[in-house]
Chain A
């Protein structure tokens, strides 16, 4: 199946917890209604096309996210969301920031800055992902 077909109905897996997740849940509600773009949330990595990682992680949480990414079937995309992952929160036992640790292991397609990013920003990031060839 071509990428454009898959991108017309994306399944998202949201990893992590925190303030950003509140805004992602809000985007599923009737006010922002992410489902009008054919986007739906799933809770099994095997059926997901996009991995959204956000929020707080320690070493064990990081391993779990990498594990989830490996279980996903390609083609797959990754969105990094929020200040905690992008900027300054480092995880236990390492001086590096979280994004550096992630980028060593997987390729990030879209970055969404903000603390937390508004639901519009999250939806916009997915639309940009759809536009990408």
Chain B
């Protein structure tokens, strides 16, 4: 645990930093960059390819910026889209640089770009095409789905007896081109398509999109609508963490925990189904509110259910913690210290398991989490044990939030009557973020001139994969499955 990280926990440093950085950007780079957009925690600007590396150099090394973490590189070959995100924990801000070529139709040499950025950030190589490793790391290949829980990537290993020297998680089957799906779609239909991007907690992409459009149109929501949104978010967070525990218990061979967890998850899913009408894919968010109100009797039954849920989940935790074999497989296995966790740019519970307290619900201003009392749980060393127990702790906090929300649920309307066809959307980029159960989920939304909307999701999965690969290189082969599934990698948002 590093002292500098704890200094910033929960501090209110949003507005002033963003303006300072905006001014500094204009002062240092002037005409090298385009207009600077400020979305609270996210700053967006465009830059030419010829100035890119000098800009990244000064953003990393100048004391005024000090953006020392590469958060993501998103490249779409079909639409020639390249977005580089840099992050700073000290300022808790993200800079998004959209790179433009001087001749717009000329494709980027992506391999060259990643190797050039590697001078500043080591993790940049993980974003490039690394299929050449398949020929080097071929002592053992585990194809996707051979173990039941790992379904989105193949694992290429180079082994030294029983020790893993190097590992490569090949995600080629989960790379998907989103431009085919979202071409010229109406906004309401689009919301129903977005929840596929996070198939364990489908409410978050919807929420992220709606928050983005609402911030553009400056729509103020009724208080009850915001509370219902928060309630659903926390319900999905519990469901998502429970499905993580399901996959962990499958891998560790704990059948009792598997069965108990699925039983508890069904209780949550039945409540979600009563509210939204669907168990997995909610399609519940609308621009300006939510689809429908929650009836009082559903809220009552949920309120009565919470103590039972708490007891049930506590029982599952005891099953894990009282079993010596389980503890042997969890403790001090797959340790990712805070330094490497920071460098790979991960967010969410895996970051908090490594001892760095960073949660958008506390640091950002979205929804009304400031009105609710809850704590952000923290791990110590970032091993399997921490990554598992932090999920349990977050589930307890979410249950606490849910009961508080039901007790203080205000009366009133649940949405504004907004016709999506008549929205005044002008051409602009929007960046919107939410804290989803496995990290920070970001949507880059670009509204084009003929009201076409291009959506590019930037999820936490890639960063988790990077850290997972780094961690695996110190593990033995017996620990492989437990370590990989402890990171909770699910790559729907890798579209």
Whether the pair A56, B151 counts as a contact (CB closer than 8 A) is no
Check B426 for interface membership: any CB of A closer than 8 A.
no
Check B266 for interface membership: any CB of A closer than 8 A.
yes
Check A26 for interface membership: any CB of B closer than 8 A.
yes
Extra inter-chain contacts (12) besides given A17-B492, A61-B174, CB under 8 Å = A13-B145, A14-B148, A19-B280, A25-B243, A26-B262, A29-B259, A43-B146, A56-B176, A84-B196, A89-B181, A90-B180, A118-B279
Chain B, range 106-158, C-beta contacts under 8 Å to A: 143-148, 151-152
Check B246 for interface membership: any CB of A closer than 8 A.
yes
Check B32 for interface membership: any CB of A closer than 8 A.
no
Q: Which of B144, B180, B263 contacts A29 (CB 8 A)?
A: B263
Residues of A participating in the B interface, judged by any CB pair closer than 8 Å: 13-19, 21-23, 25-26, 28-31, 41, 43-44, 56-58, 60-61, 64, 84, 89-90, 92, 115-116, 118
Q: For B269, list chain A residues within 8 Å (CB).
A: 26
Whether the pair B262, A115 counts as a contact (CB closer than 8 A) is no
Give the distance to chain A from B319, nearest Cβ to Cβ, in Å.
Answer: 15
Check B177 for interface membership: any CB of A closer than 8 A.
yes
Q: For A30, list chain B residues within 8 Å (CB).
A: 259, 262-263
Closest 3 CB pairs of A and B: A29-B262, A61-B173, A17-B151
Q: Which of A18, A31, A57 contacts B196 (CB 8 A)?
A: A18
Give the distance to chain B from A102, nearest Cβ to Cβ, in Å.
Answer: 15
Whether the pair A19, B147 counts as a contact (CB closer than 8 A) is no
Give the distance to chain A from B251, nearest Cβ to Cβ, in Å.
Answer: 12
A22 CA / B177 CA spacing, docked (Å): 23
Whether the pair A18, B176 counts as a contact (CB closer than 8 A) is no
Q: For B280, list chain A residues within 8 Å (CB).
A: 19, 22-23, 116
Whether the pair A60, B199 counts as a contact (CB closer than 8 A) is no
Q: Find the B residue at minimum CB distance from A42.
A: B148
Task: Show 21 A/B contacts (Cβ-Cβ < 8 Å), sorted by A.
Answer: A13-B145, A16-B151, A17-B492, A19-B196, A21-B151, A22-B243, A23-B279, A25-B243, A26-B265, A26-B266, A28-B262, A29-B258, A29-B265, A56-B196, A57-B173, A58-B175, A61-B173, A84-B196, A89-B181, A90-B180, A116-B279
Give the distance to chain B from A78, nearest Cβ to Cβ, in Å.
Answer: 16
Give the distance to chain B from A4, nearest Cβ to Cβ, in Å.
Answer: 28
Whether the pair A29, B266 counts as a contact (CB closer than 8 A) is yes
Q: For A18, list chain B residues within 8 Å (CB).
A: 196, 199, 492
Q: Which of B145, B202, B246, B279 contacts A14 (CB 8 A)?
A: B145
Q: For A61, list chain B residues within 8 Å (CB).
A: 173-174
